[in-house]
Amino acid sequence: MVKIGNIELGNFPLLLAPMEDVSDPPFRAVCKEHGADVMYTEFISSEGLIRDAVKSKQKLDIFEYERPIGIQIFGSHIESMKQATEIASTANPDIIDINYGCPVKKVACKGAGAGILQDIPKMVAMTAEIVKSTHLPVTVKTRLGWDENTKYIEEVAERLQDVGIKALSIHGRTRKQMYKGEADWTLIGKIKNNPRIHIPIFGNGDIDSPEKAKLYKDTYGVDGVMIGRATIGNPWIFNEIKHYISTGKKINPPTIAQRVDVCKRHFMFGIQWKGDVLGIVEMRRHYSNYFKGISHFKDYRTRLVSTMDQDEIISILDEVIDNFAEH
């Protein structure tokens, strides 16, 4: 049984990675329905939380059916991160997660996200203060290092565990690699097999199929996997992985009707949470992903992204079933 603090997560939990502009409550809702064991909010700026910025505060919205859920924060100032931890804790999540992995320039070049990998003592000091600032279990998501020459993740894992984190998710790339090349899980496996490490180690990077999840589980011995980009338009991946690991067999991919049904649910959750206008506009980035690989979907997408009428969107999605469903 894998546990983060006292939270029991089953034998091989699947985690939804926090993704900016993706893992909001509507997207998390459909991932939860399809087997995600632990989810995280989009990353939240510590400075934004302290200043009471509307966008940052809105990201604190969590719902009972999402549990266990972590709120993920990022920042480069220890005092701000402490205050943000206290604010985030009042939203009553199950976990506080620290983002030490975001490679995006505007974050990393200010010393936040993966930027802190250039200052390991500060990373450890900040983590220690965050652990002291909350009664909740604290977890960390990070990368192997800043670049090829600074892969200090084995030392980092021990030091972060020593200051009290309850789990560590490691993306198998350096900051310099961004999302290019192949994720290297060998160091993740070494950390998992380090006799000093007793907290759960979750691997992240390139898990895009049930076969790969099982292969990496068996090869590297991780306690679970965190999945990011492969979930976009594909929340089914969680249950597909679970089924494959327990039976060795693959589930049939979702039918067109199932894709439409989940896309509609995602859309309706968005309307409820964001209101009509934002709910409609922000759903537009998801249509192509839900219907990836379907030839001639382009015309439908054009219509879906051109209307502000909720009923029209639902009827266009119904047309997709009529015209593409397997006869």
Please say if the pLDDT value at position 326 is more than 60: no
* Structural contact between residues 114 and 143, judged by C-beta atoms closer than 8 angstroms: yes
Q: Does 102 qualify as catalytic in the annotation?
A: yes
Q: Summarize the confidence of residues 38-57 as an average pLDDT.
A: 94
Report yes or no: 166 and 139 within 8 Å, Cβ to Cβ. Answer: yes
Residue range 201-209: average pLDDT? 97
Tokens (6 digits) for 298: 């382009």
- 80 Cβ contact partners less than 8 Å away, ≥ 6 residues apart: 46, 47, 50
Instruction: Calculate the CA 242 to chain-centre distance.
Output: 18
Average pLDDT over residues 18-27: 93
Catalytic-labelled residue, pool 31, 102, 109, 263? 102
Quick: pLDDT tens for 220-270.
999 999 999 999 999 999 999 999 999 999 999 999 999 999 999 999 999
pLDDT band at 199 (very low <50, low <70, confident <90, very high): very high
* 6, burial (CB in 10 Å: exposed 0-12, middle 13-18, buried 19+): exposed
DSSP state of 34: T
**Who contacts 298 (Cβ-Cβ below 8 Å, separation ≥6)?**
none
Return the pLDDT at 327: 41
Give 158-168 pLDDT, tens digit per residue: 999 999 999 99
**35-39, 43-47, 272-276, 321-325 — which is least confidently predicted?**
321-325
Q: CA dist 256 to 163, 220, 250, 253, 261, Å?
A: 49, 35, 18, 9, 9
Write down the mean pLDDT value for the chain: 95
Q: What is the pLDDT of residue 325?
A: 65
Q: Report residue 66 as tokens.
A: 């999402």
pLDDT digits (tens, 9 = 90+) for 142-187: 999 999 999 999 999 999 999 999 999 999 999 999 889 899 999 9
Structural domains for the chain: 3-247 (3.20.20.70), 256-324 (1.10.1200)
